[in-house]
């Protein structure tokens, strides 16, 4: 097997502790560019395109966040202890990385970080299991009598991310069904958790749950921001929180 391709990276800033920025699903390195630019004077900011996004080719089909973390460790200089900042899906990778490689990370920051299951109402759970059953039936019927029901099912019920995922579909499915409870409990480094109060994709309840599981976590909820505009309108508020957090990290 040939060695996997390196990830495309943009670097902003030339001195200071390296900050590794991991974007969310559907973005590329530019997704975190607005915030990272605010750290230009004080950090070396490495903004990656995650596999399958921007200029980085896909890893193997079905690659998980854990595989991404392994690859990221290979890509980072051996003597470097990184600070990882992940938005949404990028947050999953940061949690995996911090749990698996505690001596290669000095702190992590999750902005609207995903990775834990949300509390769902009973009616939501019933609806979801009913839909899953229809999906399985559609696939079964496709296999046995060569219908095309599964595609119609996806078009009708699939999320936008799922529909757009293309060859990354297996990776997406493994991510949304994954549960990082055990990994979160293994994160030993300090963690900053920033969540927008109006985020419906990664609501503050996920951040609060992370804060309970992790050993050294600080949770902050920012009023008036959702999953995406927290990276734009909320850039300065994130800047303030991250800077005051980094001040307290001895080797950052």
Q: Which of 34, 100, 150, 208 binds another protein (CB under 8 A)?
A: 34
3-state secondary structure of 116: coil
d(CA 108, CA 125): 32
Question: Which residue has 């759970």 as its token pair?
Answer: 125
Q: Which is closer to another protein, CB of 65 or CB of 237?
A: 237
Q: Which is closer to another protein, CB of 81 or CB of 228?
A: 228
Shortest separation between residue 231's beta carbon and another protein, angstroms? 9
d(CA 115, CA 40): 29
26: which 2 tokens? 């559907």
Shortest separation between residue 211's beta carbon and another protein, angstroms? 17
Shortest separation between residue 237's beta carbon and another protein, angstroms? 5
Q: Going by C-beta distance under 8 Å and a sequence separation of 6 or more, which residues neighbour residue 223? A: 197
Q: Which is closer to another protein, CB of 74 or CB of 248?
A: 248
Q: Which is closer to another protein, CB of 155 or CB of 223?
A: 223
* 3-state class percentages of the chain: helix first, strand second, coil last, to nearest 5: 45, 15, 40
d(CA 107, CA 250): 10
For the chain, how long is the longest CA-to-CA vector? 63
What residues numbered 37-56 form the site for another protein, per CB under 8 A? Answer: 37-38, 40-41
Pairing type for strands 44-48 and 9-12 reads antiparallel
**Site size toward another protein, by CB under 8 A:** 20
Shortest separation between residue 92's beta carbon and another protein, angstroms? 25
Separation of CA 226 from chain center: 16
What residues numbered 196-225 form the site for another protein, per CB under 8 A? Answer: 220, 222-224
Shortest separation between residue 104's beta carbon and another protein, angstroms? 28
26: left (phi over 0), alpha (psi -120 to 50) or beta: left
Q: Which of 72, 237, 246, 252 binds another protein (CB under 8 A)?
A: 237
Among the listed ranges 5-13, 21-29, 140-148, 229-237, the one in contact with another protein (CB under 8 A) is: 229-237
**Where on the chain is the footprint of another protein (CB under 8 A)?**
34, 37-38, 40-41, 220, 222-224, 229, 232-237, 239-241, 244
């Amino acid at each position: 097997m040939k060695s996997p391709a390196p990830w495309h990276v943009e670097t902003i800033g030339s001195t200071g502790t390296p900050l590794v920025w991991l974007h969310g699903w559907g973005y590329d390195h530019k997704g975190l560019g607005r915030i990272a630019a605010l750290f230009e004077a004080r950090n070396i900011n490495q903004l990656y395109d995650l596999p399958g996004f921007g200029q980085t080719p896909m890893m193997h089909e079905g690659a998980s966040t854990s595989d991404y973390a392994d690859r990221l460790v290979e890509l980072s200089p051996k003597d470097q202890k990184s600070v990882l900042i992940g938005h949404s899906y990028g947050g999953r990778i940061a949690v995996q990385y911090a749990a698996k490689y505690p001596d290669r990370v000095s702190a992590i920051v999750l902005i609207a970080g995903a990775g834990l299951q949300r509390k769902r109402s009973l009616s939501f759970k019933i609806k979801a299991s009913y839909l899953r059953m229809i999906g399985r039936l559609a696939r079964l019927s496709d296999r046995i009598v060569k219908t095309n029901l599964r595609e119609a099912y996806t078009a009708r019920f699939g999320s936008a991310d799922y529909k757009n995922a293309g060859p990354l579909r297996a990776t997406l499915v493994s991510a949304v069904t994954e549960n990082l409870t055990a990994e979160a409990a293994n994160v030993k480094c300090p963690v900053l958790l920033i969540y927008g109060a109006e985020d419906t994709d990664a609501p503050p309840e996920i951040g609060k749950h992370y804060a309970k599981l992790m050993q050294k976590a600080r949770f902050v909820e920012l009023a008036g921001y959702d999953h995406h505009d927290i990276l734009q309108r909320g850039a300065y508020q994130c800047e303030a929180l991250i800077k005051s957090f980094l001040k307290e990290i001895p080797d950052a």
